[in-house]
């Protein structure tokens, strides 16, 4: 610690060591959060993909209906 009167502040080495410790600790703590986040992304992407498939099927049905109506005239 560097002392300036009543103020105390850590040295650069102590700051770097604390940052490294926080980074290592943080990477282990967030592993489960990262897995949860990736699972949520998969769920969202599956939902969006299912909506796209439904829209494509609706469009194909509409095109088929228009085509068959044109043939019956």
User: What DSSP string runs through 7-52?
Assistant: EEE--HHHHHHHHHHHHHHHHHHTHHHHHHHHHHHHHHHHHHHHHH
Q: What is the mean pLDDT of residues 3-10?
A: 68
29-67 residue pLDDT tens:
566 766 777 788 888 889 999 999 999 999 999 999 999
Look up the domain containing 9 and give its range. Answer: 2-72
- pLDDT the model gives residue 3: 61
Tell me how many domains the chain contains: 1
Whether pTM exceeds 0.75: no
Q: pLDDT: is 47 or 23 the higher one? A: 47
């Amino acid at each position: 610690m560097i002392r300036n009167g009543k103020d105390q502040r850590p040295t650069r080495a102590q700051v770097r060591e604390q940052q490294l410790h926080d980074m290592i600790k943080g990477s282990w703590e967030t592993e489960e959060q990262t897995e949860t986040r990736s699972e949520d992304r998969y769920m969202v992407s599956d939902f969006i993909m299912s909506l796209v498939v439904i829209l494509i099927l609706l469009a194909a049905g509409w095109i088929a209906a228009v085509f068959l109506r044109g043939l019956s005239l």
